[in-house]
Chains A and B, each alone.
Chain A
């Protein structure tokens, strides 16, 4: 149990996907302007991360390893993620229209989100068990959502602030990320 808590905290806070590993920067700069969409995007990414970790773990252990074709992992993982996202999109569209209108537009973007492919590769390279992979995906996704939400909250206020004209938009967002990243260093001592 301790192992799982350590993995969760490490993925969510200490090695945060956005601030420490630089994964998923496109949505970080793109959809972190308002709190609502930022949280929706974060939850959608977390969901896809968990499903993708489950699928890639099974494929890795029951197809790639038995046939000794682990070097194929990049092609297999990206295709699995791309098709999973399509299936999830279709499923949500047919079953829950309200959910679809909330998450739908973010799902296609998630295919090329490095955070999702990143978590599956981290799971594989760390030789995590199935449970550990799922916990790592949950931690990574929640950490991603947390930073996206914090950032959106700050940027909502920042819009009204008197920022120098040249720093408006992406530059000031990146400087804010620097300060957030420094703050997150405080978590290093947890485990």
Chain B
């Protein structure tokens, strides 16, 4: 069980996919305008990454190495199609707001990256740990970005319709730039700089 915990923990901080490896930036920025969207995207990535890591780890001994990339892509694309249809059926609002970024999970570098770098070389259980760790790392990064953007951009703190509090001045005069596209670049740029400066994340 020690191995499992180890593989899980490395995705959180040391090799955090978004903040250290700079993978999956497109969805991280596009859906981080609110905490709801960030959690929805995390759910999609969780299902796809867990599924692809399990399937690819289970069949790693049968896949000829020369055709492995197309095989991985078909597996991932199938899982993304499943998630896309599930969201469309059961979470139509989320499906609407995520828009083209939901089908684009298929080209999310995190998923293919973990398939190639980890699941194709490791047994199923450790691949599950890897997928869970990477997803939690992705979620942490997304929550950090979306928390800042939502607080400054709308002045409100609410998750899934439950309203927690409003900030005094910002709620009447929100800094709209933070929920607009350039705000995403600004927040992640400053966060990366901050992490480098404090030395929390070594690159």
Give the B-binding residues of A (Cβ under 8 A): 19-26, 29, 71-75, 78-79, 82, 112-114, 117-118, 121-122, 125, 164-167, 170-175, 177-179, 181-182, 185
Contacts and interface: CB of A to CB of B under 8 A. Distances in A.
Interface string B175-200: 00100111111101110111011000
A19 B81 CA distance: 27
Given A117-B106, A121-B100, A166-B197, A75 B74 contact: yes
Interface residues of B, number: 38
Among A24, A166, A171, A174, max chain B CB count under 10 A is at A174
A159 to B, nearest CB: 17
Contacts of B81: 71-72, 74-75
Contacts of A181: 181-182, 185
A174 B188 contact: yes
A19 B184 CA distance: 10
Given A22-B184, A181-B181, A170 B22 contact: yes
Nearest to A173: B189
B116 to A, nearest CB: 11
Given A122-B100, A170-B192, A171-B190, A78 B106 contact: yes
A177 B189 contact: yes
Nearest to A16: B181
B80 interface: yes
Among B84, B106, B107, B108, max chain A CB count under 10 A is at B107
Contacts, number: 111
Interface stretch (B25-33, B130-138, B150-158): B25-33
B124 interface: no
A77 to B, nearest CB: 8
B190 A175 contact: yes
A137 to B, nearest CB: 15
Interface string B71-88: 001100110110011000
A29 B22 contact: yes
Contacts of B192: 170-171, 174
B161 interface: no
Nearest to B186: A178
B112 interface: yes
A181 B177 CA distance: 11
Contacts of B59: none
A27 B106 CA distance: 17
Given A74-B103, A118-B104, A22 B25 contact: yes
A121 B100 CA distance: 7
B109 interface: yes
A20 B103 contact: no
A114 B107 contact: yes
Interface in B1-56: 22, 25-26, 29-30
